[in-house]
Amino acid sequence: MAGNNMGNDRAARREREATFLGRLLADPWRKLVAIGLGLLCWFGLRLTLKKDVASQHWFTVRNVHVHVPAAALNGPDRYYFAQGGASVTSVSLDVAVDFWHQGTEIKPDEFRVELPMEALAFEDDGRRTEPLRHEYTLVENDIREKPSTVKLRSIDPKTITLRWDKYVSREIPVHANIKNWLPGNRTAQTQVEPSIVTVTGPAFMVNQITAVQTAEFDLRNDQDFDMELELLPPAFAECTLGIQQVMLKVKVRNNAEVISRRFDNIRVNILNRLDATFEADRNSVVSDQVSVIVSGPADSVNGIAESGLGAYCDLTSFSSSGIQNVKVQLLGLPPGVKAAIEPSEFLRLKMVPIYSSQNAAAPPAPEGDAKSHAGGVVAP
């Protein structure tokens, strides 16, 4: 019986020695070499892992959108939280991934950064006129969603300034939106009633509105007319108008084309009374001709003939001698035509008694000289 057991042990030992592992365990030197190789492999793997982690473990995910709770978009009473109400709308996240996921692409939309409602809470006493501002510092708990394989290291920037604008009302002028002006010589005067409209909305939006436009209309009617026009809504949907329509009043005027013409060498005539005792000394007149420049509607100016245009100086009101500036007056100007006179609209004249004029008769003789006038000689 004992012999059988010993035979079985020898058979088992021979079977183990027949395998590689058996031979390795049976030989102490082989066992030592195997353990050494295992340790070398382990330390080599550790060094490789440390190198990979040091070079690839941390990286930055940029342009991660910061969400504002929907409850804050309407804002509290009398205030508006605009899309630009946050100074920062996206952040960069420095994150790390484990070794087994370092080659996986991580996109910004895999993260969700959301402001908590307590960041949007404030108190208003109802008397504030300037925008409300509040600073909030982001923390890791504000990242509501992120891949399970990443770990957050930092957020940049961390501080966000939030702003709510107060609702205000302002009176803005109304501008008539004219598509076509009248052709030719016609002009139109337009007036809208009322000329101003109340615009209500967030202050920073209302302050950018300089005018409220009416609906476009075509100005081709030759007659005066009144009509109702719709007001176009402001560019900002958050702003509202106090009224929706205005009355447009149009007055049409037919103005002919204005032109100018020049007439040279127009002779100035002297007008005086038959019983006048003073007249102009012809020798004192430098020139009795002037140039006339007329301007007015084309049809009226073109109808002026040089032969029908005259000029004169009226001396009928002068009753003393001396130098006088007499205004030159024109004849033959149609209505609506204006004129300018060159070199001056005044003629400088020297007024003298008529009896001293070279062209006048001799002064009457004294009564005692009556005989000499009769041809006789009076003895001394």
pLDDT above 80 (res 255): no
pLDDT above 60 (res 126): no
Q: Tell whether 347 is covered by a domain.
A: yes
- What does the alpha-carbon distance between residue 27 and residue 367 come to, in Å, rounded to a whole number? 186
User: Are both 201 and 235 inside the same structural domain?
Assistant: yes
For 1, 11, 13, 15, 18, the CA distances from 5, given in Å and listed in that order, are 7, 10, 12, 15, 20
Tell me the mean pLDDT in the region 272-282: 82
DSSP state of 217: B
- What does the alpha-carbon distance between residue 168 and residue 262 come to, in Å, rounded to a whole number? 61
**Contact assessment for residue 325 and residue 348, using Cβ atoms and an 8 Å cutoff:** yes
User: Are both 207 and 272 inside the same structural domain?
Assistant: no
pLDDT above 60 (res 121): yes
User: Are both 114 and 139 inside the same structural domain?
Assistant: yes
- Of the pLDDT bands very low, low, confident and very high (cuts 50, 70, 90), residue 119 is low
User: Are both 246 and 268 inside the same structural domain?
Assistant: no
Q: Which residues pair with 169 in a beta bridge?
A: 200
User: How do beta strands 159-175 and 79-80 pair?
Assistant: antiparallel
pLDDT above 60 (res 363): no
Question: 106 versus 244: which is more confidently predicted?
Answer: 244
Domain of 223, CATH number, reads: 2.170.120.40
Give how many domains the chain has, as a whole number.
3
Q: Tell whether 26 is covered by a domain.
A: no
Q: In which domain, by residue range, is 90 found?
A: 56-166
- Of the pLDDT bands very low, low, confident and very high (cuts 50, 70, 90), residue 84 is low
- Which residue's structure tokens are 């382990």? 42
Q: Tell whether 371 is covered by a domain.
A: no
Query: CB neighbours (10 Å) of residue 337?
Result: 18
- Of the pLDDT bands very low, low, confident and very high (cuts 50, 70, 90), residue 196 is very high
User: Are both 297 and 350 inside the same structural domain?
Assistant: yes
**Contact assessment for residue 300 and residue 332, using Cβ atoms and an 8 Å cutoff:** no
Q: Tell whether 241 is covered by a domain.
A: yes
User: Are both 63 and 135 inside the same structural domain?
Assistant: yes
Domain of 265, CATH number, reads: 2.170.120.30
- Helical H runs in the chain? 2-18, 20-26, 28-56, 70-73, 203-206, 298-302, 370-374
Task: Kindly state the percentage of the chain with pLDDT values over 90.
Answer: 11
Q: What is residue 65's three-state secondary structure?
A: strand
**140 Cα distance to chain centroid:** 43
Question: 121 versus 51: which is more confidently predicted?
Answer: 121
Question: 301 versus 54: which is more confidently predicted?
Answer: 301
Question: 132 versus 318: which is more confidently predicted?
Answer: 318
Q: Which of 251, 250, 173 is nearest to 214 (CA)?
A: 173
**Contact assessment for residue 239 and residue 117, using Cβ atoms and an 8 Å cutoff:** no
**Cα Rg of the chain (Å, integer):** 55
- What does the alpha-carbon distance between residue 58 and residue 153 come to, in Å, rounded to a whole number? 8
- Which residue's structure tokens are 């013409």? 261
pLDDT 10s digits, 155-194: 888 888 877 777 888 999 998 887 766 666 666 778 899 9
Task: Kindly state the percentage of the chain with pLDDT values over 70.
Answer: 66
Q: Tell whether 181 is covered by a domain.
A: yes
Q: Which of 128, 119, 115, 136 is nearest to 79 (CA)?
A: 128
User: Are both 279 and 338 inside the same structural domain?
Assistant: yes
Domain termination residue (choose one: 223, 254, 285): 254
pLDDT above 50 (res 358): no
User: Are both 239 and 312 inside the same structural domain?
Assistant: no
Domain termination residue (choose one: 211, 235, 254): 254
Return mean pLDDT, the chain. Answer: 75
- Of the pLDDT bands very low, low, confident and very high (cuts 50, 70, 90), residue 10 is low
pLDDT above 50 (res 360): no
pLDDT reported for residue 319: 81
Query: CB neighbours (10 Å) of residue 191?
Result: 13
59 — alpha (psi -120 to 50), left (phi > 0) or beta? beta
**96 Cα distance to chain centroid:** 48
- Whether residue 343 has a cis bond before it, omega within 30° of 0: yes
User: Are both 152 and 182 inside the same structural domain?
Assistant: no
User: Are both 240 and 262 inside the same structural domain?
Assistant: no
Tokens of 84: 């630009």
pLDDT above 50 (res 280): yes
Q: Lowest mean pLDDT of 31-45, 165-179, 244-258, 327-341, name the range.
A: 31-45
Q: Tell whether 145 is covered by a domain.
A: yes
pLDDT reported for residue 374: 34
Amino acid occupying residue 57:
H
pLDDT above 50 (res 325): yes
Q: Tell whether 362 is covered by a domain.
A: no
User: Are both 148 and 61 inside the same structural domain?
Assistant: yes
User: Are both 153 and 61 inside the same structural domain?
Assistant: yes
